[in-house]
Amino acid sequence: MKKLFYVVIICFTCIINAQKRIEIDTTKSVVKWTGSNLFKYNKHFGTVKFINGHIIKSNDVILGGRFEIDMNTIVNTDGKYNEMLVKHLKNQDFFDVEKYLIATIKFTEVVHKNVNTIKVKANLTIKNITNEIDFNITFKVIDGTYEMNSKFIIDRTLWDIEYESKGLFANIKDDIISDAIEFEVDLKFN
C-alpha cells in the first residue's frame, strides 16, 4: 500500500512539474473593442491594456489561462469625441472604473479543436459581475514564442452596463447604443 501511495505522489509531482506558466508581454498584448449604436452606422473603437496574464501549458497543450485588464487604460482610437467618450466610458454609466479598476478573464475549460485552434470557456468579470463566455482562440508559435488571437461579442447588459440599452426603451431611437460589444484580443507571450 505504501508503494502505491509513493507511486501516486511521484506521478502527481511529475504532472505538476510538467506544467509551465507562460506570461504575456503586456507591452505587445492588447484588447481592441468596438461599440456602436443599435443600427451600427455610428461605431466607436479603441483599446484597453493588460496588467498581467498567463497561460498554463503542458508540453504543447494549453490547459488554462488567467488575465487582468486595467480598465483605466481605455482609449478611443476612432478620433470621434475622444476625451468626452473615454470619460463617459469610465464613469458610472458604463464601466465605473474608479470603483472597478480591474476586469479579469479566467479559462475554465479548454478543448483543442485542431493544431492551431482551441475552444475556451471562461469567466469574464467586469464590475465584480462574472458571466461565462466562450470563444475560439487561434494560436501560432513563431521563433518559440506564442501568439494568440480571439474575437468574441458580449451582451454588456449582463454586466450591468445598461446606459441607453435597447432593453430600457419602449420606442427604438437612432441613438440607442447596441448591447453588443465586440472584442478582438491579441496576445503575445514572453
Residue-wise pLDDT tens digits, 9-53: 444 444 555 799 999 999 999 999 999 887 656 889 999 999 999
Q: Is residue 7 part of a domain?
A: no
In this predicted model, which residue has the larger pLDDT, 60 or 119? 119
In a domain, 1, yes or no: no
pLDDT band (50, 70, 90) for residue 81: confident
The band of 60, judged by pLDDT with boundaries at 50, 70 and 90, is confident
Dist. CA 98–CA 92, nearest whole Å: 9
For 88, the domain range is 21-188
The CA distance from 43 to 113, in Å, is 33
Mean pLDDT for the chain overall: 87
Q: Tell whether 64 is covered by a domain.
A: yes
CA distances from 130 to 30, 110, 159 (A): 21, 18, 7
The CA distance from 3 to 156, in Å, is: 54
Look at the chain and report how many structural domains it folds into: 1
Residue 74: band (very low, low, confident or very high) from pLDDT cuts 50, 70, 90: very high
176 within 8 A of 11, measured Cβ to Cβ: no
Quick check: is 9 in a domain?
A: no
181, part of any domain: yes
Q: Cell triple for residue 2?
A: 505504501
Does the pLDDT of residue 149 top 60, yes or no? Answer: yes
Residue 10 located in a structural domain: no
In a domain? residue 95:
yes
CATH of the domain at 87: 2.40.128.110
Is there a domain that residue 117 lies in?
A: yes
Asked if residues 166 and 176 have their Cβ atoms less than 8 Å apart, the reply is yes
pLDDT of 14 reads 47
